[in-house]
A = this chain, B = another copy of it.
Amino acid sequence: MSAEPEGSSPEPFRPFERLASERIYDSRWCGLRKDWIRLHDGHEQDYHVFEVDDAVVVVPVYENGDIALLWQYRYVHGKSHWEVPAGRIAPGEAPEAAAARELAEEAGCVARELVRLPGFYPINGISPHYAHAFVALGCTPNDGARPERSEQILVQRCAAHTVRERLRRGEIADGFTALALLYYFAGAHARP
């Protein structure tokens, strides 16, 4: 048990030393490397690190509080399920710009205002991949969603209580989506 007083955070641990790094794979979509590291007891071991561009996720909220959910197909597990707009940040793109772009492309919406939710590391045992989260307030339809060729998406406008009920029943299986929605419902977005 830590001796730290409750509510404060201890000092950061001392990082492990990287002795060497082997490139396993490089592509425009992802990279994989194997580092050789030294622990503080002198033991040495390898550590695989998966590399992928950082991402955004955005909760689209209409003026009356309704939320746009996307019924979306994901190739990796073969299922269709509920999500909110999300995607990778393009090189040189600001997170806010990426969120506005995904909102337009996937939900067919433009927002009056983008407000930050807490961001997160989705898989920090494996990758430094980071997700910036937003809520898009005052959404209105633009000229229509333009999903990418490999995306299959249906947009459904839902009352907030419907979305809360889906969360409570465990029907939101996408981690990015569930976390951004729960932060939004918990009031974690700082209003300017």
Contact = CB atoms under 8 A, between A and B. Distances in A.
A74 interface: yes
A36 B68 CA distance: 32
A1 B156 CA distance: 6
14 contacts: A2-B154, A2-B155, A6-B159, A7-B165, A10-B71, A12-B80, A15-B73, A16-B150, A45-B149, A49-B76, A74-B125, A76-B128, A123-B129, A168-B186
A167 interface: yes
Interface in A108-161: 117-131, 149-150, 152, 154-159
Oligomeric state, in copies: 2
Majority-rule SS of A interface residues: loop
Interface residues of A, number: 87
Given A120-B178, A150-B39, A82 B45 contact: no
A10 B81 CA distance: 9
Contacts of A29: 48
Given A12-B73, A118-B172, A126 B30 contact: yes
